Amino acid sequence: MRKSRFVAVVLGIFTLTTLTQCFTEKQDEGKRLYEQQCQSCHLEDGSGLRGLIPPIAKADYLQTHRDELPCIIRHGLQGPIVVNGKEYNKEMPGLEALREDQITNLLNYIQTNYGNNNQRYTFEEVEQLLEQCPVPQ
């Protein structure tokens, strides 16, 4: 009896430790993805590149185009956009290789950092919005 109780306790501790590490890694995934995929253009502080690349820091575009953002991350963006009253017209490449959960984590990181205090996405919401993306040409 004591041996099975000991085994159960050890397994419980192992499970909790493993789950905690998984959640911690996922929690930091948005930041890591931003640093790897976005920071070279939108910069470390999210301020963008003077007149060429729009800011994501305190960007009104994140709220006014919320439903389009998952598609923009996946497929990129061409043509003019207006962010905080200023027009930008630089092509943004898509990140086709990112999974839905990665796009969700990336968007949630952007939505809640760089002076943004916007509503977070759910995985299901991102999945549904990606299904509605216009077909890239």
Residue 67 domain-assigned? Answer: yes
Question: What is the spatial distance between Cα 25 and Cα 29, in angstroms, rounded to a whole number?
Answer: 6
| CATH, residue 93 | 1.10.760.10
Residue 105 lies in a domain: yes
- The angle, 0 to 180 degrees and rounded to 10, between the axes of the packed helices 2-33 and 100-111 is 70
Q: How far apart are CA 99 and CA 26, in angstroms?
A: 13
Are the CB atoms for 71 and 93 separated by under 8 Å? Answer: no
pLDDT of residue 11: 58
Q: Which domain holds residue 99?
A: 29-131
Q: Is residue 9 part of a domain?
A: no
Say which residues have a Cβ less than 8 Å from residue 61's Cβ, sequence separation at least 6: 54, 81, 82, 83, 84
Would you state the pLDDT for residue 134? 85
Domain-located, residue 22: no
Q: Is residue 21 part of a domain?
A: no
Per the structure, the count of domains in the chain is: 1
Task: Please indicate, yes or no, if residue 11 is contained in any of the structural domains.
Answer: no
**What's the average pLDDT block by block, 10 residues per block, for the chain (137 residues)?**
62 52 64 97 95 96 97 96 96 97 98 97 98 81
Q: In sequence order, what are the residues at sequence separation of 6 or more whose Cβ sits closer than 8 angstroms to the Cβ of residue 63?
A: 118
**Is 24 a domain residue?**
no
CA distance 88 to 130: 24
What confidence score (pLDDT) does residue 14 get? 58
State the pLDDT at residue 57: 98
Using CA atoms, how far apart are residues 47 and 89, in angstroms rounded to an integer? 16
In a domain, 15, yes or no: no
pLDDT of amino acid 50: 86
Question: Which residues have a Cβ under 8 Å from the Cβ of 134 and sit 6 or more positions away?
Answer: 71
